[in-house]
Structure formats: C-alpha cells, structure tokens
Amino acid sequence: MQPSALPLPPTSPSLSDGNTRPYFLWWTDATVADLREHLADPSPEVRAYWMGALLREANTRDVWLFVTPDDIRRIWLRLTRYLGRTRAMWAFLLHLPCPAWPPPEAFGKRR
C-alpha cells in the first residue's frame, strides 16, 4: 500500500491570520488580508502583479494558501512578466508554455 500524498503544512501558521505581514512581501507593509484583497481585485493587472509577487517570493508550499493552479493558468500570459527567474519553474510545474523573456516586441521591430 502506497502512502497518500499529503500536502506540506504552511511554513508558518500565522499565514492564516489576516493581520500578519507575510515574509514573502518583504518590500511592503501589506498584510495577508491585503494580499487576499489584491488577488481578488477586479483589475487583471493588479491581480497579476500580486500573484507574481507571491509566486516569485513565497515558498511553494505557501503559494497554495492563496491561489490555485487554475487561478495561475487563467492569467498566465499577463502574469509571466512578474515572475522573474521563477517563470520557467512555474511553467514546468503547471505544464504551461514558457514564453521567451524578454518578449521580442520589447526590442521593437528589427530590420
């Protein structure tokens, strides 16, 4: 009989407290509650920025406290610009296309 795959617990139980300043948002005073608000923002660009920060900075096991793989897939093309060096890892983990970075259009048309 194989052991069932159990998810790892969060790195800190305080990540369930809305007043906690999460370690992965080190450059801002945002709390867990603020992050949840940003991730639910009506603007796709706002959601992409904050989801990118989460995916880029948080321990992978903490990511799933805030988003699902489907959340990531829904905004993948907008999100990739915010992932930095973690872009290829997330593409691999979620079986998504890993776009070339920087995108060719960033250089303008070449002759």
> What are the pLDDT tens digits along the chain (111 aa)?
555 667 788 899 899 999 999 999 999 999 999 999 999 999 999 999 999 999 999 999 999 999 999 999 999 999 999 999 999 999 999 999 988 877 777 666 554
Please report how many Cα atoms fall inside a 13 Å half-sphere around the Cα of residue 93, on the Cβ side: 15
Nearest Cα residue to 33 out of 14, 19, 47: 19
pTM score: 0.86
Which residues, other chains included, contact 17 with Cβ-Cβ below 8 Å and sequence gap of 6+?
32
